[in-house]
Amino acid sequence: MVVVKKVSAKHILDSRGEKTIFVSIYTNAGKFSASSPTGTSTGKHAIKSYKKSLEKDIETLKKFSDYFSGDVIDDFSDLRRIEDIVEGHIGANSLFALESAILKALAVEKKKQIWQLINPNISKRTVKFPRLVGNCIGGGKHSQGKKSDFQEFLLIPKTNSVKNALEMNKKAKKDVFYFLKEKDEKFESKKNYEDAWETSLNEKEILDILKNLKLPMGVDVAASGFYGRKKYHYQNPMLQRTKEEQISYISNLIRNFKLAYIEDGFDEEDFESFSKLLKKFPNALIVGDDLTTTNVKRLKKAIEMKSINAIIVKPNQTGSLLEVARVCELAKKKDIKIVFSHRSGETEENILADLAFGFQADFFKCGITGKEREVKIRRLIEIQRKLR
């Protein structure tokens, strides 16, 4: 068991150079630390990152240090004790970093891997590894200058080996560099927040390039980012689409480019349009992120309305790893695919891999290159290697 003796916190910089939280705990098993990523494109139903501000949360955690003192954690479900103490006092980022540090301490104390604390029943016979979802080209809020209105263009290699999937995505990303040089006069070899290529091409032109790679493809439309006054306001080229026109446009893209994965194709309140798209394309992954925000209530509504068949899970959207467990449990029960995801502002924290594997996610969305992305994928590769 782990006895928490003291808690401290400070800020560090994420991959975009913006401040995020870093929490350290002092226990009978030693000192353990964890950090939280930050998001650029955030659904309005996500829990606030910090109660009032990052600095206030740091102050609060230091003040609460005595409350944790002597608290005993013996298994994953004991995180409830921590949540009872801090509930309403800190934001989602701070809670996620705190609970991650506690799981690290517990894993060392029990001589186990973090994923084993979450799911002790995984065996070599039943084990499943998530497929990598790699962001190859970026647009939307993650990129600068003239760009696609869609936020991410994704590659999803179909292989049982995480290592092979990473190598396939890296090779594809290198190939895409030469395609972009040829097709985009304004291409400057720049990368965006998630280390994906930036281009002035629009979504159709980008998909035209990616189809040459012969890999399953997907898009994160992040449609809430350009929805307002009942219309989708496209900038490249400039035009407006109604709800019905958006459904028709996304449907054509799915057909023409054989898209396997479509995330947030509609505004975050429009469960109905998601539902219409899923009815049309039951074999594609219709994925909710801003729609569902790693929230059980939102997921229940999406299930009732048959809006999605896959859900993004971002642990720091909710902060509580117990809520993450509830979301995953419900998703599995209702046959909704689970996609564990990084954020645009990442750190070198790698616990996301243990969580994705422990909760037996179907997909792991984590970029392709960049040290903050690769550290997570490499951890997943390490888990697979050790289990084999």
Amino acid, res. 239: L
Per the listing, tokens 């226990």 go with: 27
Largest CA-CA distance found in the chain, in angstroms, rounded: 62
Active-site residue flag, 314 = yes
Catalytic residue among 51, 104, 314, 365: 314
Strand ranges, E, within 217-315? 217-220, 227-228, 231-235, 238-241, 261-263, 285-288, 310-313
Please, how many CA atoms are within 13 Å of residue 335, restricted to the half-sphere of its CB? Answer: 2
Active-site residue flag, 244 = no
Kindly give the interhelix angle for 321-333 and 92-109, rounded to the nearest 10 degrees.
90
Those residues with Cβ within 8 angstroms of residue 83's Cβ, 6 or more apart along the chain or in another chain: 95, 320, 322
Those residues with Cβ within 8 angstroms of residue 370's Cβ, 6 or more apart along the chain or in another chain: 15, 191, 194, 195, 346
Catalytic residue among 99, 152, 194, 203: 194
356-359-361-366 Cα dihedral, nearest 10 degrees: -10
What is the set of active-site residues? 194, 314
